[in-house]
Amino acid sequence: MTLKKNIATSEEGFVFNPGTGDSFSTNTIGGDIIALLKDNKSLKEISEIICKKYDVDKDQFEKDLDDFESQLKDYAIID
Amino acid sequence: MEKIRYERPIIQKMNTGLMNKFGTRTEYEPVTNIESISVKSLINDYGTPLFVLSEKQIRRNYQNANRIFKTRYPKVQFAWSYKTNYMNAVCSIFHQEGSWAEVVSGFEYEKALQNGVPGNKIIFNGPDKTDDQLVKAAKNNSLIHIDHFDELYSLIRLSEENSLKPRVAIRVNMDTGIYPKWDRFGFNFENGQAWNAITRIINSENLDLVGLHCHIGTFMLSPSAYAIASTKLCELTWSIKEKYNKIIQYIDLGGGFPSANTLKGAYLPGSDTVPSIDQFADAITDVILGYGFKQEDLPLLILESGRVLIDDAGYLLGSVLATKRLSDGRRATILNFGVNTLFTAFWYDHKISPAQAFGSHTEEMVMYGPLCMNIDIVRESITFPLLEKGDNVVVHKVGAYNMTQWMQFITLRPNIVLIDNENNTHIIRKAETLDNLQTNEQLPEHLKKQTLK
């Protein structure tokens, strides 16, 4: 899961895709994940960081991350 | 370091365009208590799905409706519509408040008797009354509302055979300007059928015509339709007095007042569009009082309200079984109750609230029940906080019809709990068990020794 190079993000959770002109909003954890993707973190690393920061177990988060990834793909935010 | 409360990650596309002038719906305010009892404790004690009824709200609804009518008209009597909710506890609350019983089958008639309602305070409606039931009702001096000529002639014959003189009314159907016109029940006003039935009854020595009844529809949103119905029943009452010098003792306007639920396809929520009981009371009583009856001849006004008196006293608590994404990207939430339990989901967009606090983010979703059927949809589209497996929801205004029309399909029907006036909880119907359901099943002898090959 790699964030497209041209995707612009803000700390408030806004995402802009200049390729399509679409804007998006995320919740805090969604913004955290996109920031980690921007830092080229792997899914495994993302999972470890998020599970340390948030009150969630690994299985639950991986299921949700999988769903989030499919949304990012649908919106052409990741390659 | 304390961990941050988790919610699943979401990303939503921002759309440009005109804002909805009514703003976004705020159905996601959590409901953590029903009366003074916490939803969590109800769920811990009784599980989910769980129907919860508030005795306080039932009594409040009854007393409010009774006051509204009695401050406008001198003689008013409510009769509890058993088919709306015939849990014995519910019926007993209404009877304690002074309601008679309005039943539409032999089964409901027996329930009313068992609930201690005197026979002369039971109104027996409906097209399906057996000979035995008619005789029993006649012997009990119940009010028999005749639905069709076959029933009328049966009752005349049975009364003669058994030397009875039952108190009867006819159900009258009529054009009140609403669609669909309910002309399948009773005798038609406009084509003279109702008058023919009245004439036949009055000419019979074995029937005592004491009332006139109509029930013009269900979930009626137009008080003026009741004004038309009242006018037509008054016209018949007046004509009977003129022609036969007989005073009709009561006019029964039936039920049909809506609750504040939102019908499917409605543009605005029911809470904003449904007329108040005051408006219906004004429409009905203005007509009867203004018709010209002498004070002593004013008929008793009977109302068979059901839904409006109990819908908002009922809640359904449920749990999230799973969440998933559909092929078109929409979120789907699967709940542990479906149209089997929440039958009214077929015609209402029920208000549903989360039972716990959430973050500020919401998403559009479909809410499905757990049945393996495509029609099992609780809400086709609802904006809701981000739900996870195990979260709880509260469905509002489910007191009417669900506990009588629910279906036993592939699963068992749940507990029903009543919260009394002192905030004690009582199970008023225990969750079903497999044994309950199989009690009446019988396995033929030759099938008992089967072996799976």
Domain ranges of chain A: 8-74
| Domain positions in chain B | 33-52+312-432, 56-311
Q: What is the pTM of this model?
A: 0.92
Residues 6+ apart with CB under 8 A from A58: A47, A51
Local confidence band at A24 (pLDDT 50, 70, 90 cut-offs) = very high
Phi/psi of residue B145, each to 5°? -95, 110
Q: How far apart are CA B13 and CA B301, in angstroms?
A: 57
Q: Enumerate the residues of chain B whose CB falls inside 8 A of the CB of residue A77.
A: 11
Q: How far apart are CA B129 and CA B419, in angstroms?
A: 35
Strands (DSSP E) contained in B237-361 are 250-252, 300-303, 314-325, 331-335, 352-354
Tokens standing for residue B76: 């008013």
Per-residue confidence in pLDDT tens, chain B, 453 aa: 788 989 999 998 887 766 665 555 555 789 999 999 999 999 999 999 999 999 999 999 999 999 999 999 999 999 999 999 999 999 999 999 999 999 999 999 999 999 999 999 999 999 999 999 999 999 999 999 999 999 999 999 999 999 999 999 999 999 998 888 888 899 999 999 999 999 999 999 999 999 999 999 888 889 999 999 999 999 999 999 999 999 999 999 999 999 999 999 888 888 888 999 999 999 999 999 999 999 999 999 999 999 999 999 999 999 999 999 998 888 999 999 999 999 999 999 999 999 998 878 888 899 999 998 999 999 999 989 999 999 999 999 999 999 999 999 999 999 999 999 999 999 999 999 999 999 999 999 988 887 777
pLDDT at B20: 61
Pairwise CB contact (< 8 Å): B5 & A74: no
Q: Is B67 on the interface with A (CB under 8 A)?
A: no
The strand pair at B33-34 and B37-38 is best described as antiparallel
Q: How far apart are CA B260 and CA B275, in angstroms?
A: 9
Tell me the β-bridge partners of B180: none
Q: Is B5 on the interface with A (CB under 8 A)?
A: yes
Pairwise CB contact (< 8 Å): B6 & A55: yes
DSSP structure class, residue B317: E
pLDDT at B13: 87
Nearest CA-CA partner of B237 in B172, B147, B181, B329: B172
Q: How far is B351 from chain A (nearest CA, A)?
A: 25
Tell me the β-bridge partners of B170: B146, B212
C-alpha pair distances (Å), B262 with each of B127, B268, B307, B341: 30, 8, 13, 18
Q: Is A60 on the interface with B (CB under 8 A)?
A: yes
Q: How far apart are CA B12 and CA B16, in angstroms?
A: 13
Cβ neighbourhood burial of B22 (10 Å; 0-12, 13-18, 19+) = exposed
Q: Which residue of B lies nearest to A17 if distances are taken between CA atoms?
A: B13
Q: How far is B331 from chain A (nearest CA, A)?
A: 10
Residue pair B249/B211 in contact (Cβ under 8 Å)? The answer is yes
Q: What is the ipTM of this complex?
A: 0.96
Pairwise CB contact (< 8 Å): A71 & B11: yes
| Domain at B33-52+312-432: CATH architecture | Beta Barrel (2.40)
Q: Enumerate the residues of chain B whose CB falls inside 8 A of the CB of residue A58.
A: none
Q: How far apart are CA B275 and CA B295, in angstroms?
A: 29
Q: How far apart are CA B106 and CA B133, in angstroms?
A: 6
Q: Enumerate the residues of chain B whose CB falls inside 8 A of the CB of residue A33.
A: 9
Tokens standing for residue B248: 């009709």
Chain B, residues 211-250, CB within 8 A of chain A, namely none
| Domain at B56-311: CATH architecture | Alpha-Beta Barrel (3.20)
pLDDT at B19: 64
Phi/psi of residue A66, each to 5°? -60, -45
Nearest CA-CA partner of B76 in B63, B85, B86, B89: B63
